[in-house]
């Protein structure tokens, strides 16, 4: 898993931003922000909070504790009529290990089926 300094640098570079751009978002100087990216200084919580809000990511993702980018707001998103992402996760975790594996297998099957349909549609558009 990546370290937070690798993650914050990657997030910035992926968006073609300069350190001074993100320093302004974080309410600090470019020099201080540079120290967070290099690991010379620990990133304060206020900066972590500002970055999580700016990038719309979870703080846990930014500090490298999880690969899940969704923050609390992401867990509140509706994925079906009466189900939020958080509710789906709770329901999934309530299942037995075997049943969870079945659900994951079904999700992978549905993704494969969608990819095949997309490829078929694209093939139909070719001359």
Output the tens digit of pLDDT for each of the chain's 127 residues.
889 999 999 999 999 999 999 999 999 999 999 999 999 999 999 999 999 999 989 899 999 998 877 776 777 888 888 889 888 989 999 999 999 999 999 999 999 999 999 888 777 665 5
How many other CB atoms are there within 10 angstroms of residue 108's CB atom? 10
Task: Name the packing angle between helices 19-26 and 4-14 (round to 10°).
Answer: 110
CB-CB contact of 26 with 51 (8 Å): yes
pLDDT of 127: 57
What is the pairing mode between strands 83-84 and 78-80? antiparallel
Q: What is the pLDDT of residue 75?
A: 77
- The per-residue pLDDT for 37 is 96
CB-count exposure of residue 98 (10 Å: 0-12, 13-18, 19+): exposed
pTM of the model: 0.64
* Sole residue written with tokens 């100087």: 29
Q: Which residue has the tokens 């900066």?
A: 47
pLDDT value at residue 123: 74
**What is the model's pLDDT at position 116?**
92
pLDDT of residue 19: 97
């Amino acid at each position: 898993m990546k370290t937070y300094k690798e993650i914050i640098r990657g997030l910035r570079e992926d968006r073609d931003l300069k350190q001074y751009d993100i320093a302004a978002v974080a309410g600090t100087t470019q020099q201080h922000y540079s120290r967070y990216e290099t690991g010379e200084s620990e990133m304060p919580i206020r900066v972590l909070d500002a970055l999580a809000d700016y990038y719309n990511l979870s703080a846990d993702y930014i500090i490298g504790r999880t690969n899940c980018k969704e923050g609390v707001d992401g867990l509140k998103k509706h994925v079906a009529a009466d189900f939020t992402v958080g509710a789906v996760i709770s329901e999934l975790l309530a299942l037995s290990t075997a049943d969870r594996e079945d659900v994951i297998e079904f999700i992978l099957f549905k993704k494969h089926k969608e990819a095949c349909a997309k490829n078929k549609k694209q093939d139909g558009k070719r001359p």
